[in-house]
Amino acid sequence: MNFEEYKNLWVFIETFQGKPKDVGLELLNEGRRLADLTQERLCAVIIGSDVDESVAKVTAYGVDDVYVVKGKEYENYCSDSYGDAMAKLVRKFKPATILIGATHNGRDLGSKVAVTLQTGLTADCTNLDVDQETENVIWERPAFGGNLYAQILCADSRPQMGTVRAGVFKKGEPDDSRTANVIEVDIHTPQELITTKLREFIKGEEPADLKPAEANIVVAGGRGVGSKENFSIIQKLADELDGAAVGASRAAVDAGWVPHFRQVGQTGTTVTPELYIACGISGAIQHQVGMKDSATIVAINKDPDAPIFEIADYGIVGDLFKVVPELTKAIKELKAAK
């Protein structure tokens, strides 16, 4: 394989009803950094039927080129059609690196394309870097149940591919004055290759408040909260903090105390809020994976040896059922005084 033929960094922009998902926009920010390190172009890839809004949006986030594939067969995500289009794009333009959001569709697409092209794919990455000597991407991901981090290189094939979890990187600042080269590529997938068809889309129940990944502040409860009813004190603290969402550890979700969309950690959501308050969470590495990059971490736990204190900026050793209500009361009084 002639590696010199493979240039530039691509970010697959997953869309829904013509709008780009946040994970793709997050990856453009990190993609820009990596592309600058290797002195390559940053390119967005958009596949769909009505994608003009997505093209305009990614342009504002600083891409150099936008590859667009349009067709009726791409109206809804399908492994057969999207995988076929992506593989044909790669064969034609030969990117060195492809970043894909680790969503349900992204994981599906990444594996489909990697197998088709017989190249490597690193799944669920939480950090990225570049080896300056070889220009191989260093893909970092949790391994062995999250007890350590593995750094993986795709040294023998191209393109290098990886899926990256949502919330790991922050979006850059959009600038509507930016321009990019829009390259429309005429690719169509024969109907006989499309073995599945979407019959109906049923919208799932949306939370009434913010999801943890959307919030500037996350107040999370763990096993120490003790019950579904006790999560009300976590909710009350979140209610007093503007822009806050309730999060949870896997133990609390597995116990049925809160729904899965609130789970923070390796098998849940990755969050990077300005403030993360961990209440009754021991801080196993699987949970730390999802919140360790928060700007400020406050831990409340009665166990002074809890691992969460090792990464916390502020730690309170105490009974959360005494500490959290007092903290809620103090915030409420402070707001009233203002």
- CA separation for the pair 243, 237 (Å, rounded): 12
Nearest to 318 by CA among 337, 338, 301: 301
250 CB-near residues (< 8 Å, 6+ apart): 263, 265, 267, 268, 286, 287
* Coil, strand or helix at 329: helix
User: Which contiguous run of DSSP H or E holds residue 288?
Assistant: helix 285-288
**299 to each of 146, 168, 235, 333, how far by Cα in Å?**
20, 21, 16, 22
Phi and psi (nearest 5°) for 4? Answer: -65, -20
Strands 19-20, 15-16: pairing is antiparallel
Nearest to 164 by CA among 129, 137, 139, 136: 139
Nearest to 77 by CA among 98, 100, 48: 48
Per the annotation, where are the binding residues? 223, 249-250, 263-267, 280-287, 301
Supply 223's token pair.
């096993």
Place of tokens 């342009």: 59
- CA separation for the pair 335, 338 (Å, rounded): 5
265, 290 Cβ separation under 8 angstroms: yes
Does 307 sit behind a cis peptide bond, omega within 30 degrees of 0 on the bond before it?
no
Per the annotation, where are the binding residues for FAD? 223, 249-250, 263-267, 280-287, 301
275 CB-near residues (< 8 Å, 6+ apart): 216, 217, 218, 241, 294, 295, 296, 298
- CA separation for the pair 125, 160 (Å, rounded): 13
